[in-house]
Structure formats: structure tokens, C-alpha cells
Amino acid sequence: MARTILCFFFLCLVALLHPSFSEAVTLGKRNVPAMFVFGDSIVDGGNNVFVDRNVTTRFLPYGIDFPTGPTGRFTNGKNPGDFMSQLLRFPRFLPAFMDPKTTGGMILYGVNYASGGSGILDYPGSLFISLNQQIKYFQNTTIPELRTQFNNTEKLSQYLAKSIFVFNSGGNDIEQECNGPVRKEKCASDEFLESLLANFTHQLKIVYNLGARKFLLFGVQANGCNPQHKATLLATEKCREDINNASKTFNTLLRSSIDRMYKSLPGSNFVFVNTYGIVRNVFDNPQSYGFKVVNQSCCTISTGMRGGACEKYSTPCMDRKTYMYYDGAHFTEALYKLLVKKAYNSTLPTEVYPFNVAHLAALT
């Protein structure tokens, strides 16, 4: 008996002192074997760096607070995909699909396909990786590699069914529609938004048919409040409400579509995160969340770059945890952390629907 207790104490001590042993124990308790991320710059884990070596996110001040420095992420530190991978207890951040090293065992915890500037729709001549192309990469490259890794069809099916598929897309499509030469009260018609949703749900069904069953859908944020739009605001305005209204309408349509997809796709489960509502609440009540600056970027915006990118090698604000926006269109790590925490834990139907990510992860 004494010997058993001594052995148990020794194993506990090893687990505490040896990271790899502790990691193995933790991995055994995870409900989600992998996560696959699709979308735009909000969740881009560095893919655009391999598409365009001159992309500004390769350089400081981007990544100033990320453990390895600049990686192509459109923020000062971690993005929503990174925070979600930590909450799901993965041992490392997801690798970018375009990175040549993303192969073999590197893909077993999942892959990030997201590309800054991309949208639900295809835009000819764009350097960015559209959502359609991201899904093709998953289908034509990742799935065959996973088949080789597993060498067992049933185990691969179980793995995909338990994994979480994250989507953050639609914001660039709405921006593209609303930023024409003439500013309109209703910049995106109902017909356009319904067509956009139809394209998106079709893309989700493709991924479902490839084996996905757990979907995490981030709604479009309050893009009309981005600092890059300040120059176009009227004296009485805080945000471009035409863009915001289009985003809200799309989110409402997306949230409503979840129940229909749940019924038509057997075994599927969806979580919708009301990114717009969460972000707008912080924008309107910043002090309640520890933020002080909501209407300007933390970094100096480059005058020669579209999209409100940071000036290369400029010095950002010092107290980055109190700023909502890092550049003209993207949030700080602090805001992303808050958003993902709510996505994972919130019990408010105004924030997550029909349940949170923790519940999604626990489903069998």
C-alpha cells in the first residue's frame, strides 16, 4: 500500500515537472481532437504571408505581443482562432495551410485556412484566398493527408465528426458592397444579403458532406465603427450605420438559418456567435469591459495602404489592453480574448445561439 502511494506521488510529481508528460495527460481529456478555421483577416493565422511576401502583417508592429513576433496575424497578438485553440486545450496554435511545413503530423490538431481580404464570394484578380478555395484546400489536400495519417475510414470519420469547424466570413463582402462611390442609406439590399447567405450555407453543406458535424459561426462584426471609416462619417455620427445595418441583417439571416440546417443535415450542430452585438456593446460601454479608447487605432495607420493597415515598423500605443482597435479594421488581442471567452462560456442567447462552444465541444 505504501509503495502504491509512493508511486502515485512520483507520477504526480513527474506530471508537474515534465511538460510533455503533463501535455499527454491533458490531451487524453480533450473532447475535440482538432479544429479547422476558415475565413478572413479576423482569423488569418498567417496564410497571406505565403501568398504575398510584402504583406504588412509580416512586420512590426503586427505581432508585437505574439510569442514569436510577427506571423501575418492582423493584430498585436493572438486572434480568435488562437484563443479558441487554447480553450480547447490544444498543445499548439493551428498551422497556416500555406506554410510548406503544414503537412504530416502537423495537421492532426487542425489547420488554419483563413486569408485576410477574402470573402464568401469570389473576387477575380484578388491575391487573397477565397472561402471557396479554402474549402477546396481542405477537400483536396488535407482530407487525403488525413486518410494517410489514419489509414482507417471509420476513425477518420469519428475524428472529423468530433472536430470543430470555425467560420468567420461575410464582413468583406458587405464592405465591398457598401463602399461604392455613392453612399446610400441602405447600402446592401435584402436580395444581396440573402444571396450571400445562400452561398455561405452552400459552402457549409460542402464541408458537412466532407465529414464535419460541429460548426462554430462567428457573425459579422460592427464594421461601420472601424477607425478606417472615421473620415467618411458625418459630424453627428459615431459609426457608418449603413454598413452596420447590413451586417446586422446578414447576422439575423444567418442565425435563423441554423435551425433549418440543423434539421436538414443529420447529426450536425451549430453555434452562432453574435459578434456584432458583443462588439457594439463594448463600443458603447467601454469602461464596463476595461477599455478606454474605442474610436481610434492603437497603431499609426499607413497612408499608402488600403484597409487601414499599420505603418510598417511604427511604434504602437503602450497600453494596448485598453484599446479596442489595433489598426483601422482589426481588433486588439484584448478584444479578441473577450469575444472568444463569451463565445466559449456565455449563457446569454443574445450572445451565443443555441448554446456556447463549451457545450458544442462536449457533444458526442
Please report the pLDDT score of residue 302 as a whole number: 86
Whether 307 is covered by a domain: the verdict is no
Structural domain count, the chain: 1
The verdict on whether 41 is a catalytic residue reads yes
- 156: cell is 477518420
Task: Indicate which residue of 130, 163, 327, 346 is catalytic.
Answer: 327
What are residue 351's phi and psi, to 5 degrees? -110, -40
Q: Is residue 311 part of a domain?
A: no
The answer as to whether 313 is a domain residue is no
What digits encode the pLDDT tens for the residues 8-17?
A: 333 333 333 3
pLDDT at residue 20, rounded to an integer: 28
Answer yes or no: is 88 within a domain. Answer: yes
**What pTM did the predictor assign?**
0.91
Which pLDDT belongs to residue 9? 37
pLDDT of residue 71: 97
> Which position among 44, 130, 268, 330 bears the catalytic label?
330
167, containing H or E segment: strand 164-168
- Pairing between β-strand 352-353 and β-strand 269-273 as defined by DSSP bridges: antiparallel
Q: Is there a domain that residue 324 lies in? A: no
Q: What is the pLDDT of residue 23?
A: 29
Query: 183 φ, ψ to 5°?
Result: -80, 130
Contacts of 125-128 spanning 24+ positions with Cβ under 8 A? 127/48, 127/51, 127/52, 128/48, 128/51
pLDDT at 90: 96
- Residue 293 lies inside a defined structural domain of this protein: no
20 counts as catalytic: no
pLDDT at residue 303, as a whole number: 77
Give me the catalytic one of 41, 247, 268, 297: 41
Is 327 an active-site residue?
yes
105 within some domain: yes
Stretches where the chain sits below pLDDT 50 are 1-28
- Structural domain span for residue 267: 32-275+331-362
What's the pLDDT at 214?
98
Task: Please indicate, yes or no, if residue 230 is contained in any of the structural domains.
Answer: yes
Residue 162 maps to which CATH number? 3.40.50
Beta strands, E only, 293-350: 293-297, 323-325
Omega within 30 of 0 (cis) for the link into 61: yes
